Amino acid sequence: MTPADKCRTFRALHDSGCFVIPNPWNIGSARYLEGLGFKALATTSSGYAHSQGLPDGAQTCDEVLAHFREIAGATDLPVNADFENGYAKDIGKMADNVVRCVETGVAGLSIEDATGDDAHPLYYFDTALARVKAARKAIDQSGSGVVFTARTEGFIRGKPDLDETIRRLKAFADAGADCLYSPGIKTREHIEATVKAVAPKPVNFLNSAASGFTVKDLASMGVRRISVGGTLARVAMHAFIKSAREIAEQGTFDSFAGVVSNAELNAFFAAKRKKP
């Protein structure tokens, strides 16, 4: 499937219904998720950073773009890129980076309004809106058809203000974002208010913890797309840490019981191996 095909497929997924877009952090996890029948995937900045022994946000733009290219090339599914704030404070440089992101073969990308500065965690409204407009223009000029998701980060950056979140999402929708996303909202009231505010544009919901909501529940609230962020990567890391600690602290190997076999993984990946 070509990048253009993936873009068209990904865009069509947002037209109706509700789908889960899980977040792999390497080729193996991407191909396993594809094998389970998911319709699209999304990268995770934290999951990939932790797999490289780094805190979230510590990687360079070049490193992240190389990761996008690797994941997009490893699967026939559309891949959405977690492109954080575009890896540039300057709007022109951010727009240039968006073009570079498109060129990796991803079918979608997200830009957030977080500054990376704890003292001032969000870009001022006008600046955030200008950045969304610049990203939209860069994608349009690329002619790629990449799906653009605009994010506002208040609920995970110490600014959990629903009114301001909705003000930003509505402005981002009007500025041409294809999908809207406010990670950190958790209650039915907040989810439904967000969906209603930007309708008919689709909303992505981050289900990164045991929220109690099923896919059916979220679909009934009008959510179109469900991601899990770095949680699958943390599940894997948690199991590794638990097992390693058992060995180091107790000298036992009980956590090895019942794990997937080497033969099973070999058979799965042999069947899914991409032909050169």
Tell me, what's the pLDDT at 123?
Answer: 98
How far apart CA 49 and CA 121 sit, in angstroms, is 20
Q: Measure the CA–CA gap between 64 and 104, rounded to whole angstroms.
A: 10
Per the CB < 8 A criterion, the answer to whether 173 and 201 are in contact is: yes
For residue 187, the model assigns a pLDDT of: 95
pLDDT in tens, 13-31: 999 999 999 999 999 999 9
Each residue's pLDDT expressed in tens, for the chain with a length of 276 residues = 899 999 999 999 999 999 999 999 999 999 999 999 999 999 999 999 999 999 999 999 999 999 999 999 999 999 999 999 999 999 999 999 999 999 999 999 999 999 999 999 999 999 999 999 999 999 999 999 999 999 999 999 999 999 999 999 999 999 999 999 999 999 999 999 999 999 999 999 999 877 889 999 999 999 999 999 999 999 999 999 999 999 999 999 999 999 999 999 999 999 977 654
Instruction: Report the pLDDT value the prediction gives residue 208, as an integer from 0 to 100.
Output: 86
**pLDDT at res. 275:** 53
Any idea where the domains of the chain sit in the sequence? 3-232
Which pLDDT score is estimated for 272?
Answer: 78
pLDDT at 274 (0 to 100): 62
Domain spanning 3-232: CATH 3.40.50.300? no
- pLDDT for the residue 243: 98
